Structure 1
Amino acid sequence: MALPGGLESLIKAFSGHGVDEQSIISLLGRSRAEHRRTFRKECKEFFIEDNERRFERWDDHSIKLIKQEFMRFKNAVVLWTMHPWERDARSIWGALREGPESYGVIVEVACTRSSEELLGARKAYHSLFNHSIEEDIATQVEGRERKLLVALVSAYRFEGPKVNEDTAKSEAEILAEAMNAEQKPIENAELIRILSTRSKPHLKTVYKYYKDLYGKNINEDLDHDLILQAAVQCLCTPHKYFSRVLDAALRDNAHTSTKKALARVIVTRADTDIQEINEEYQNQYGVSLAQKIVETASGNYKEFLLTLISREN
């Protein structure tokens, strides 16, 4: 076997989302010492040349990244077999430890689950960590997001279709006042009350009145506050929200923490609305979710994700 001819394929097998195990086996497993030496010399993405000692060594950062890619299949399988309550509880626990850049995961769980599902996640959190979600957010979140996050995870929303139109219109005006006040919207007690207590059908009506009254979607007034924007999207347009998160996760230059969303979203939505998310993804980006995964993911990880999005519930 002449590895140099398959060098590009081998580099690709190690790159992206997951790893292509079969290519690694067929290309690298049968290689000779001189072929692996060529691989190390040519693969500047992974190896550093030590000119003084005359050998090529792995870049430490690359080792870490590749280990993470090997782990993606295992992690996806573990998530899939977990009870949904435990899965959500562990997602929130992990987001708190990763810091502000991951607080959107807390919003996602709090705002896209049913009232019973969110209550179940809170029960699981008690069991796993001997604290409440509310307690940990209150003690670990130091920024202005704290009050909103505590309120969202504490919610037990009415899930019926009934909406009071007059109240919805009045609350649209309250939101507009919050947007134009000197105080940051995320610190506004009335805005937090509305987002954390009202039913999703009611909130959709509030946002409709907001657009009717002020000529633009509330999202346009929240583009400077990603946590509030995520909350609004998760509550009222979850399929658009999940499509956006998946698109970010599937980009070639996605950060490692951003890539994690690919398995999280597909696994958590596979039993509920993955087909609707797929349709929205196609509408927004002009390509099916399955095709995008084929283009960017590799190996068993890719096959497992494709299986989840193609299954019938």
Structure 2
Amino acid sequence: MAFNQELEAVTQAFSGHGVDEKSLVTLLGKWDPLERESFRKKTPHLFSEDHERHFQRWDDQYVRLLKHEFVRFKNAVVLWTMHPWERDARLVKEALKKGPNEYGVLIEVACTRSSEELLGARKAYHSLFDHSIEEDVASHIHGIERKLLVALLSAYRYEGTKVKDDTAKSEAKTLSNAIRNAHKKPLNEDDEVIRILATRSKLHIQAVCKHYKEISGRPR
């Protein structure tokens, strides 16, 4: 089936007059990110363009309609067709609503996305909820993890390959001292630990961990 025919079939499946689950599973499951983006751009009755932040977002009214059409199927399909920025923004919002047991979602979004992807999620959050991720995290979370989570979700990390080994070794010593004195000050409240975890590149943090294991005598 040609892509234009697939596009028509998926659009029909989202018609609001009974959802064709088989078509959705078959076609959406094989589309790559560019094809899903093309679907969003070619269905303005389902998605609206945020011209300021440069992404396509689901129409909230249509999402509510789909919820009545297929409760069991809605979340997976809607999330799959979303722009990745919107998907992450909505996942963060839902995790904040559900509370501490879902805070792992915040860590996943903050630590597994590229700097541009995380920035995009923050832009989408602005567009969808008229708040920033940072202010909602700060206002919803009141435990000792708040400072670290705000810092992680605010980050825009360097993603190059250069690592200053002397700096990594120095920060490994800082981390070792913080862990040794965690009974006096929890790691989640240690500004230096938070700075290292929230601002350093992933390669730099790997180097810090390597030096920490050497300093602490822990196995590699």
TM-score by length of 2: 0.65
Residues 172, 123 of structure 1: CA spacing in aligned structure 2 closer, same or farther, 3 A cutoff? same
Measured against aligned partners, the alpha-carbon deviations of 1:24-57 in whole angstroms (never above 9, x if no partner) come to: xxxxxxxxxxxxxxxxxxxxxxxxxxxxxxxxxx
Could you tell me whether the CA contact under 8 Å between 1:157 and 1:198 is conserved in 2?
A: yes
Match of 1:208 in 2: 210
Match of 1:159 in 2: 159
Computing the radius of gyration over CA atoms, which structure comes out larger, 1 or 2?
Answer: 1
Residues 165, 83 of structure 1: CA spacing in aligned structure 2 closer, same or farther, 3 A cutoff? same
Cα offset, 1:75, TM superposition: 1.5
Please state whether the residue corresponding to 2:177 is helix, strand or coil. helix
Aligned-partner residue type, residue 73 of structure 1: F
1:138 maps onto 2:138 in alignment: yes
Cα offset, 1:128, TM superposition: 0.4
Match of 2:191 in 1: 189
Please state whether the residue corresponding to 1:137 is helix, strand or coil. helix
Residues 128, 173 of structure 1: CA spacing in aligned structure 2 closer, same or farther, 3 A cutoff? same
Match of 2:101 in 1: 101
CA distance in structure 1 between the partners assigned to 2:72 and 2:171 by the alignment: 43
Cα offset, 1:215, TM superposition: 2.4
CA distance in structure 2 between the partners assigned to 1:145 and 1:216 by the alignment: 26
Please state whether the residue corresponding to 2:131 is helix, strand or coil. coil
1:89 maps onto 2:89 in alignment: yes
CA distance in structure 2 between the partners assigned to 1:217 and 1:156 by the alignment: 31
Match of 2:114 in 1: 114
Aligned-partner residue type, residue 161 of structure 2: P
Cα offset, 1:213, TM superposition: 1.4
Match of 2:74 in 1: 74
Cα offset, 1:180, TM superposition: 1.4
1:138-287 superposed matches below 5 A: 138-181=138-181, 182-216=184-218
| Root-mean-square deviation over aligned CA pairs | 1.7
CA distance in structure 2 between the partners assigned to 1:194 and 1:82 by the alignment: 32
Residues 155, 71 of structure 1: CA spacing in aligned structure 2 closer, same or farther, 3 A cutoff? same
Could you tell me whether the CA contact under 8 Å between 1:157 and 1:199 is conserved in 2?
A: yes
1:129 maps onto 2:134 in alignment: no
Cα offset, 1:112, TM superposition: 0.4
CA distance in structure 1 between the partners assigned to 2:103 and 2:124 by the alignment: 19
1:14-33 superposed matches below 5 A: none
Cα offset, 1:216, TM superposition: 2.3
Cα offset, 1:217, TM superposition: 6.6
Aligned-partner residue type, residue 189 of structure 2: E
Cα offset, 1:122, TM superposition: 0.2
CA distance in structure 2 between the partners assigned to 1:113 and 1:167 by the alignment: 24
Cα offset, 1:74, TM superposition: 2.9
Could you tell me whether the CA contact under 8 Å between 1:89 and 1:121 is conserved in 2?
A: yes
Measured against aligned partners, the alpha-carbon deviations of 1:82-101 in whole angstroms (never above 9, x if no partner) come to: 00000000010011111111
Please list every run of 5 or more consecutive structure 2 residues that lacks an aligned counterpart in the other structure. Answer: 1-69
Q: Percent identity among equivalent residues?
A: 66
Aligned-partner residue type, residue 86 of structure 2: E
Aligned-partner residue type, residue 147 of structure 1: K
Measured against aligned partners, the alpha-carbon deviations of 1:189-212 in whole angstroms (never above 9, x if no partner) come to: 000000000000000000011111
Please list every run of 5 or more consecutive structure 1 residues that lacks an aligned counterpart in the other structure. Answer: 1-69, 219-313
Aligned-partner residue type, residue 216 of structure 2: Y
CA distance in structure 2 between the partners assigned to 1:117 and 1:176 by the alignment: 31
Cα offset, 1:71, TM superposition: 4.3
Cα offset, 1:158, TM superposition: 0.3
1:3-82 superposed matches below 5 A: 71-82=71-82
CA distance in structure 2 between the partners assigned to 1:111 and 1:121 by the alignment: 13
Could you tell me whether the CA contact under 8 Å between 1:210 and 1:217 is conserved in 2?
A: no
Relative contact order, higher structure (CA 8 A, sep 6+): 1
Match of 2:51 in 1: none
Measured against aligned partners, the alpha-carbon deviations of 1:242-291 in whole angstroms (never above 9, x if no partner) come to: xxxxxxxxxxxxxxxxxxxxxxxxxxxxxxxxxxxxxxxxxxxxxxxxxx
